[in-house]
Amino acid sequence: MSFGDLIINDIVQGKEVLKAYGSLFGLTDSKYKDDAEFWQNVKGGFALGGGMTAVTNITGATKDYIRQLDGDKFVVANFAMMREADKINRAASV
């Protein structure tokens, strides 16, 4: 889940939240504009929802990427060895 997903979910949930995000950019006026508790809840929700999910996804994706990279190196090395073996065989048959 990305930060954009969180914002879209909040937009769907209610227009007051949309107004609150708009007030951050000076686009709208909201009753939550100066509400410190509301903004603490927004930051906490992002940390628990988006932040923790991002950390989990990055660690899982890194492990998968390293595995894929090792597989790619193995395939490339095999093709290189086969190419060299073909060169030796052609040179021996001449």
pLDDT tens-place string over residues 16-38: 777 887 887 778 787 777 888 87
Among 3-7, 9-13, 25-29, the range of highest mean pLDDT: 25-29
Classify burial at 25, counting beta carbons within 10 Å of its beta carbon; exposed 0-12, middle 13-18, buried 19 or more: exposed
Whole-number pLDDT of residue 17: 76
pLDDT tens-place string over residues 67-81: 777 777 777 778 888
**How many structural domains compose the chain?**
1
Q: Is the pLDDT of residue 50 over 70?
A: no
- Please state the rounded mean pLDDT for residues 55-71: 76
Give the amino acid at 73.
Answer: K
Q: Select from 49, 72, 53, 50 the least CA-distant residue to 61.
A: 53
Sign of the alpha-carbon dihedral angle for 23, 29, 32, 34: positive
Residue 62 lies in domain: 3-93
Note whether 41 and 57 are within 8 A (CB): no
Whether the pTM exceeds 0.95: the reply is no
**Residue given tokens 């065989």 in the structure block:** 89
